[in-house]
Structure 1
Amino acid sequence: MPRFVSVGECMIEMSGGEDGLYRLGYAGDTLNTAWYARACLGEEWDVDYVTALGDDMYSEQMADFFDENGIGIGYIQQVENRRPGLYMIHQKDGDRHFTYWRGQSAAKFMAEDPEALYEAFEGADIAYFSGISLAILAPRARGRLMKAIHLAKEGGARVAFDPNERPALWTSPAVMGSTICAAAILADVVLPTFPDEKALFGDASPEAVAERYLSWGAEEVVVKNGAEPAFVASRESQGWVAPRPGAKSVDPTGAGDSFNGAYLAARAEGATPLEAAAEAHSLAAIVIGHKGALVPHEKLAD
């Protein structure tokens, strides 16, 4: 069976906060993308999530949640005396704000066993990772993860990468920029977001973002830009793909991740880059109409 393999960190999400009441859920950029890839890919595909969890009941509940929703847990490592990271969402000045607790996160140790990491990607058809996957790791562990991605590519995997720059997770913009560059060189498909790229690299336009990643070796680049059209570029063609008109935004959390999952699934099923971007926008339009990063699969046909 073909395999979609995503690697990174999933966290416990506490959302709501009205009257001091919060709802427990799960989210994380690469988990979100795996979630939507699972929804869009045919049953012949396996979708596996690679991470590390702790030995606590919340880690167990999180793994059970993945399993119950068709996301493979066979390559999740267990780290003693650790637990998942946690974040809370609160509303302030009409916008969502996030507070994180990552000090005991088991996912920071997911690259400590290189052989287990290499095995997780063996036979992958699509290998997906992000800037956050790298940012949470120690420098040597980042190298081990990138080696695992490199070996997956040598084994025939199509490598997809979302730079997903989050300055708070890095020691400096210079370290973030150099690591993003090294990771992007491994990628066949890069899925950046224009405001993030402009802030880090100074790109003047989505076209400039795409040109830079193509010059670093990517075969195709899709530059997301929120509610604005995405710019899709490959070595053979380029074009703009606008979101579906009239979509109502209730909660934008996970919109870019859902775009990535739908895009990669559509490409795997034979769509052209422009067709895949249109399908990705359509799914993201559904996702922003629901609260939370993970919209139940049965609601994605709305």
Structure 2
Amino acid sequence: MDVLSGIAQKRFLVIGRVGMDLSPEPPGTGIEQSTSMTVAMGGSSANIAAGLVKFGAEAALVTRVSDDAVGRYCVAQLGAYGVDARHVHPIAGEYRNSLALYETRVEDHNSVIYRNGAADFQMSIADVEAVDYEQYGALITAGTVFAAEPSRSAAFRAFELARAAGLPVIFDVDYRPYSWPSPAVAEDVLSRAGALSDVIVANDEEFGFMAGGIDKGLAKARALAETSASIVVYKMGHLGAITFALGTETRTGIYEVEALKPTGAGDSFMAGFLASLAEGRPMDEAVLRGSACAAIVVAKPGCAPAMPDTDELEAFLARHPGPSAPQSRAEG
């Protein structure tokens, strides 16, 4: 399986949730004080898909949505962003779409996520088996799909089907404790998913969680690159990132900006990183362009609406003085 060749096809199958985001207006307003809010599409997988489409790639989403006005809103928004929603199906009953309320501020930031009876966790094995994997070049998912059944078994089945079709599996660990029944279950399941993935992107805390301690995270990332994954990106926040790929280890910095909020950075990084690899850019440049996308999103309101396109990314890079020097974290 040639990972870069699959990515270069620019046809991505993305598995995971689409939801509704609400943000108090104007920026800086707390949830408790808000009298009006903006509404936008959200959900990590949907954000990644929208970001890829903005860069000229094709992306299709596989998930379940609630059979109500909010679910229909999410499907309509996927269409508005150009994301293929043919594999997004409603689920009847008391299942509901995820709803996120988050503040556009960094200091005293609050996010409230409603995931009770989440519709996306009802994605089934039949849903992923209905997909023609031969139509796509790579599969992408975020860790939340593994947090509950039947979505967990469906996601592992999608991994099997993707690999059988020759698609590289791209995994954003994206650990959200509130979605999981226990840390022990999350550690086991996310580690199993990571071992089946060709590209793994996670921050230092997430790798540390999978390894049993943050001091062991870097060693875990390196071990995955040496044993199973072709590309591993170990993100360290303001310290930059370490990328293990094709037998090399590359350290990169970040693009410093005045952040309006902390949300959306990881989704934008993934979209920019993959889009850059799809264009044939060198690995270190792809990581830096992903980092620039993350910087753009945290400096603007919204998540999916804030995802840059190629023109916006190039303009940002042209006016920014450049990335910070890469820094090191103590290794355990």
Same fold (TM over 0.5): yes
Paired with 1:290 and 1:190, the residues of 2 have a C-alpha distance of 27
Give a deviation string over 1:264-300, Cα, whole Å, max 9, x none: 1211221232121011112112112101212155683
Counterpart residue type for residue 166 of structure 1: R
Paired with 1:28 and 1:132, the residues of 2 have a C-alpha distance of 10
Corresponding position of 1:4: 12
- Provide closer, same or farther for how the CA distance between residues 104 and 175 of structure 1 changes in structure 2, counting only shifts above 3 A: closer
Match of 1:63 among 54, 62, 75: 75
- Provide closer, same or farther for how the CA distance between residues 93 and 155 of structure 1 changes in structure 2, counting only shifts above 3 A: closer
The structural deviation recorded for 1:51 is 0.9
Does the CA-based 8 Å contact 2:297-2:307 persist in structure 1? no
Paired with 1:147 and 1:222, the residues of 2 have a C-alpha distance of 24
Does the CA-based 8 Å contact 1:87-1:101 persist in structure 2? yes
Match of 1:228 among 239, 247, 251: 239
Corresponding position of 1:80: 92
Counterpart residue type for residue 120 of structure 2: A
Paired with 1:61 and 1:93, the residues of 2 have a C-alpha distance of 28
Structure 1 unaligned blocks of 5 or more: none
- Give yes or no for the alignment of 1:34 onto 2:86: no
Structure 2 unaligned blocks of 5 or more: 1-8, 25-30, 316-332
Corresponding position of 1:94: 107
The structural deviation recorded for 1:215 is 4.5
Counterpart residue type for residue 109 of structure 1: Q
The structural deviation recorded for 1:207 is 3.6
Corresponding position of 1:285: 295
Corresponding position of 2:228: 217
Does the CA-based 8 Å contact 1:267-1:273 persist in structure 2? yes
Give a deviation string over 1:33-57, Cα, whole Å, max 9, x none: 11211122x3xx4211111112212
Does the CA-based 8 Å contact 1:121-1:127 persist in structure 2? no
Taking only aligned residues, the RMSD between alpha carbons, in angstroms, comes to 2.3
Paired with 1:117 and 1:19, the residues of 2 have a C-alpha distance of 40
Q: Which has the higher contact order (CA 8 A, sep 6+)?
A: 2
- Provide closer, same or farther for how the CA distance between residues 214 and 33 of structure 1 changes in structure 2, counting only shifts above 3 A: same
Does the CA-based 8 Å contact 1:173-1:200 persist in structure 2? no
Paired with 2:86 and 2:18, the residues of 1 have a C-alpha distance of 15
- Provide closer, same or farther for how the CA distance between residues 234 and 29 of structure 1 changes in structure 2, counting only shifts above 3 A: same
Paired with 1:93 and 1:210, the residues of 2 have a C-alpha distance of 29
Does the CA-based 8 Å contact 1:34-1:47 persist in structure 2? yes
Sequence identity percentage:
23
- Provide closer, same or farther for how the CA distance between residues 218 and 174 of structure 1 changes in structure 2, counting only shifts above 3 A: same
Give a deviation string over 1:89-139, Cα, whole Å, max 9, x none: 25899232222222242211112xx2331233512211001211211x31x
The structural deviation recorded for 1:190 is 0.2
Counterpart residue type for residue 68 of structure 2: D
The structural deviation recorded for 1:159 is 0.8
The structural deviation recorded for 1:217 is 0.8
Give a deviation string over 1:233-254, Cα, whole Å, max 9, x none: 124111101112x422122211
- Provide closer, same or farther for how the CA distance between residues 152 and 91 of structure 1 changes in structure 2, counting only shifts above 3 A: closer
Does the CA-based 8 Å contact 1:162-1:192 persist in structure 2? yes
Corresponding position of 1:110: 123
Paired with 1:104 and 1:141, the residues of 2 have a C-alpha distance of 13
Q: How many residues are matched?
A: 294
